[in-house]
Amino acid sequence: MSENIRTVKNATCTFCGCLCDDMELTVDLDEHRITKAKNACVLGRAWYAEHVIEDRPAAMIDGKEVDFDEAVEEAAQVLVNAKFPIIYGLSDTTSEAQREAVAIADYIHGTIDTTTSVCHGPTGMAFQGVGESTMSLGEVKNRADMVIFWGGNPAVSHPRLFTRYAVTTKGMFIPNGKKDRTIVLVDVRKTASDPVANIQIKVKPGKDFELLWALRALVKGKSIDPSIEKITGVSLATLEDLVDRMKKCNYGVIFFGMGLTMTRGRHFNSGALMALGTDLNEFTHFVVKPARGHGNVTGADNVVSWQTGYPFGVNFNLGYPRFNPGEFTTVDTLSNRDADAAMFIASDPASNFPKPAIEHMKRIPVISLDPKQTITSSLAHVAFTTATYGINTTGTVYRMDDVPITLRKAYDSPFPSDEEILTAIKKRVRELMLSKYGTSGVRGEAKVASLTPL
Amino acid sequence: MSLTLSLHTLPDVPIEADVICTDKLNNVNEAALSALTIFHGKEQVMLGDFFKVQGKYDGEIRIEGDLSRIKHLGAGMSGGRIIISGNVGAHLGAGMSGGEIIVEGNAGDWIASEMIGGRVIVKGNAGHMVGGAYRGSPVGMQGGEIIIHGNARNETGNAMRHGLIVVGGNSEDFTGVSMLAGTIIVLGEMGIRSGAGMKRAPSFPCIRQKCFRHSPMLAPIILLMCESISHILKSTDYKLMMHS
């Protein structure tokens, strides 16, 4: 270990949606390593410990090292010349970079989508139909006396959610921590989160919607047939007890995960849960919040919504934003062979997308921005190596409760940040679009108008 | 002679051709028709780049070729007739208020979504969201008839307010979800959670005719009946009947 040690206080861990901002990092500046991450959970420690500056070229075209400018030029050419370019990813980068990506999608009249579409996308769709009752995690810490986790396993996915905000932590009106809280866990199987729960409810797989609908009826005072146990695996007495507790609590919170959003029924499942929250507000204060996974996936929703009006799956082909999940979401644009060029930012769809989508990725030019070598970057036509957000770059990220947090960097990286690369591509894309189509912005109109005496 | 459009070049990426709509083609000659703009992905191109145009619109448009990547055909039309000889892509007849679209092959997703009136007949299968509401929109189909001879997929008649949907084959999950009024007839099997969140269920039921499952010969007859009934209803004061 060298002598050149630096300590970074109050750094933010960008691994999961909790974005814990109380990290104390010990950084070995000679070795370019974080040697200790005080306060970090098991995921955070791994995130920091495994981060090294890799010996990779900053930019590659077809696997060969090239100048940064050459790679930017090639990326811009690919995006401008494509007829249906798509941009996807964005959940593991700063909101400043996300903003540049939306600008590029707008300039090239392409399609922009985030990893939300394969995780909490159905939640975004349900918001539109049902609405969202929301809160900050600080409110949960200080007020929530009933916390329900539905279809998620925070002990593994968000380890500090329990200790920092939702279960054991003591708050202003929750002086005794866990003793003052009722913790309910709804899942289809035994999970590592089970030990924290006062009430565990095991629902039959794929029956969440039916269970939620029954709960809604009970909250409204309607009678439910005891056969509900046969359908959902949960007895009527348990449901009645749960509803009674929910109505009597002072401040209830429901966190839900992909057990709800990515099982059969999708947006109707999350919509049913949010509708239950709305119903409960007749009796007490209840909020429903998706427990978001990636560090800045909430920021991706926020930035794309703020810039285009829609959270994900936004298409600019006609020059204005249109939202249609199922048509403009990336799994669909790839599986249907619609896309003819793709830029993947800070995500690795080639490792987890359906097979037809990955097959199509191999047929079209792909631009990849990633700090590490991934399956996506290996098949990419243009691959950029980037600095890691939160460790090598500053910027803004959004916690799962939509609270923006500023990052502190631990040490410098030789690689450019996503924001720098995307800004360079945006600048070049703009120049190319102007030279190709003129200042009118409406492509091909002049050509058509001269031929059309309508 | 009616207007015939034949696809001569398969598109690389989806085409959006809401210009192929009865209301927009009155008194337009062949040359001007060929020069109409459609979107090939983000590029504006001319109709003639992909379609061979023959004849003049006289109330009927015939479209030939594999149109499975052509979207928004007949969207927003208010009268006349479109006959599609093969398969067709998404958003067929979306938001239409009148007229008739007949598809000989299969249709894509979102056909006749948020339609107000008119008729769509699909001889093959249809995709998801038949007559449904677009995401973020509270109201789906508000009138008219959709008759699918084959199968339909998820969320058929999502948030429907009026009108008739008949599916000759099976439909999948969430048939008639959040519907307020109107009629959906499925002659085959339905998926799970049919009619979830629907209102006024007693007066406008989602009908499941189990008996037709075992006698597939009956299905075409029922479909023909539905088509002719809808013709008769059309000629009488159909709207009034739907309201009563």
DSSP-derived 3-state class of residue A248: helix
Q: DSSP letter at A89?
A: E
pLDDT of residue B222: 60
| Architecture field, domain A59-119+295-441 | 3-Layer(aba) Sandwich (3.40)
CA separation for the pair B222, A434 (Å, rounded)? 58
Using alpha carbons, select from B81, B216, B91, B82 the residue that is nearest to residue B150: B216
Q: What is the mean pLDDT of each run of 10 residues along chain A (454 residues)?
A: 86 94 94 93 93 91 96 97 96 96 95 94 90 92 96 94 94 94 95 94 95 95 94 96 96 95 93 95 95 93 95 94 95 95 95 95 96 94 96 95 94 95 96 80 47 42
For A445, phi and psi rounded to 5 degrees? Answer: -65, -40
Do B57 and B36 contact (CB within 8 A), yes or no?
A: no
Q: How far is CA A268 from CA A51, A123, A193, A260, B157, in A?
A: 39, 9, 25, 9, 15
Whole-angstrom Cα distance, residue A188 to residue A153? 11
pLDDT at residue A394, rounded to an integer: 94
Alpha carbons B36 and B45: distance in angstroms, whole number: 8
The Cβ of residue A176 has, within 10 Å, a number of other Cβ atoms equal to 9
For residues B169 and B153, what is the distance between their CA atoms, to the nearest angstrom?
Answer: 10
Q: Identify the helix (H) or strand (E) that includes residue A199.
A: strand A199-202
What residues pair up with B63 in beta bridges, in sequence order? B5, B84
Find where tokens 């691959």 sit: A383
Give per-10-residue mean pLDDT for chain B (244 aa): 92 94 87 92 94 92 95 94 96 95 96 95 96 92 94 93 91 90 88 84 40 47 60 43 34
CATH ID of A121-290, from 3.40.228.10, 3.10.450.100, 3.40.50.2030, 3.90.550.10 = 3.40.228.10
Torsions phi, psi for A218 (to 5 deg)? -65, -40
Query: Which residue out of B18, B24, B44 would a mutagenesis test of the A interface target, given it has the greatest number of A Cβ atoms within 10 Å?
Result: B44
Whether residue A323 lies within 8 A of chain B, CB to CB, comes out as: yes
Q: Tell me, what's the pLDDT at B210?
A: 37
Contact (Cβ atoms closer than 8 angstroms) between residue A357 and residue A379: no
B208 interface with A at CB cutoff 8 Å: no
> How much is the CA Rg of chain A, to the nearest whole Å?
24
A452 touches chain B (CB under 8 A): yes
Q: Going along A233-390, which residue ranges are E strands?
A: 251-256, 285-290, 314-315, 322-323, 341-345, 366-370, 382-385
Neighbours of A139 (CB within 10 A): 18
Contact predicate A443/B44, CB 8 Å: yes
Contact assessment for residue A140 and residue A253, using Cβ atoms and an 8 Å cutoff: yes
What pLDDT is recorded for position A258?
Answer: 92
Do B109 and A326 count as a contact with CB atoms less than 8 A apart?
Answer: yes
Same fold, A59-119+295-441 and A121-290: no
The pair of structure tokens assigned to A326 is 């199922």
Contact B57, B47 (CB under 8 A): no
Q: How many CB atoms lie within 10 A of CB A2?
A: 9
Distance from CA of A451 to the nearest CA of B (A): 7
DSSP assigned state of A162: I
Closest residue on chain A to B26 (Cα)? A454
- A82 chain-B contacts, CB cut-off 8 A: 41
The answer, for B41 touching chain A at a CB cutoff of 8 Å, is yes
Domain map of chain A by residue range? 5-49, 59-119+295-441, 121-290
- Tell me if B192 and A264 make a contact (CB, 8 A cut-off): yes
> What pLDDT does B28 receive?
85
A-to-B residue pairs, Cβ atoms closer than 8 angstroms:
86
Interacting residues of A351 by C-beta distance below 8 A, sequence separation 6+: A374, A375, A376
| Distance (Å, whole) CA A181 – CA A257 | 20
Q: Would you give the DSSP letter of residue A387?
A: P
Query: Half-sphere exposure of B140 toward its Cβ, with a 13 Å CA cutoff?
Result: 35
Is residue B88 a contact partner of residue B125, using CB atoms and an 8 Å limit? no
